[in-house]
Amino acid sequence: MNSREIQHFPQIAQENFQTPENWMTFLERSAWHYKHTFYNQMLIVFQRPDATAVTGIEAWNKKLYNVHK
């Protein structure tokens, strides 16, 4: 998601949630991310709908996965 899309994010979200099917799809995908805020859930689902493990880089490195930016 680029900076222009982030600026217009509320409009993009509203357009994506126009139908009940799209809303249900979002809810199913965001169920994995229940500890995140609604805004972050939308960012995660819009950027990577199939994401299941989302956390900060510090947490990944703490678990010895050595993630680089």
Q: Is the pTM of this model over 0.75?
A: no
Residue 69 lies in a domain: no
Residue 14 lies in a domain: yes
Residue 68 lies in a domain: no
Q: How many domains does the chain contain in total?
A: 1
> What are 1-58's pLDDT values in tens digits?
566 666 777 787 778 788 889 889 888 888 888 888 888 888 888 888 888 888 877 8
CA distance 55 to 52: 10
Which structural domain, as residue segments, surrounds residue 14? 3-62
Residue 23 lies in a domain: yes
Task: Find the helix or strand (DSSP H, E) in which 24 lies.
Answer: helix 20-30
CA distance 57 to 69: 8
